[in-house]
């Protein structure tokens, strides 16, 4: 995912979290459980499905991290 796309998704996540903290918190908790199910599925997948399941689990973990850290300030890189 490109940095501008990631930043946009993070910004929108923060707006949603701020507009309805209770619903957002519940969403993140459910998404966390969903992500755990994907991660466990990798260990139970048939040999011909492992890479597909692994990719899905990695994507889910990346989104979960974004959702959990959407309120963390981004460090600005100094201009060269």
When divided into structural domains, the chain yields a total of 1
Is 33 a member of any domain?
yes
Give the pLDDT score at 43: 92
Query: Any residues with CB less than 8 A from the CB of 58 and at least 6 apart, and which?
Result: none
Is 24 a member of any domain?
yes
Give the pLDDT score at 4: 79
Is 43 a member of any domain?
yes
Which domain does 55 fall in, by range? 3-68
Is 79 a member of any domain?
no
- Over the stretch 17-40, which tens digit does the pLDDT of each residue have? 999 999 999 999 999 999 999 899
**Residue of 54, 75, 67, 79 lying closest to 28 (CA atoms):** 67
Q: What whole-number distance in Å separates Cα of residue 23 and Cα of residue 16?
A: 9
């Amino acid at each position: 995912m490109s940095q501008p796309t990631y930043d946009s998704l993070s910004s929108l996540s923060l707006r949603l979290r701020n507009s309805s903290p209770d619903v957002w918190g519940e969403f993140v908790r459910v998404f966390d459980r969903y992500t755990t199910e994907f991660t466990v599925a990798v260990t139970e997948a048939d040999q011909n499905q492992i890479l597909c399941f692994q990719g899905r689990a990695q994507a889910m973990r990346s989104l979960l991290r974004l959702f959990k850290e959407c309120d963390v300030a981004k460090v600005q890189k100094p201009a060269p």
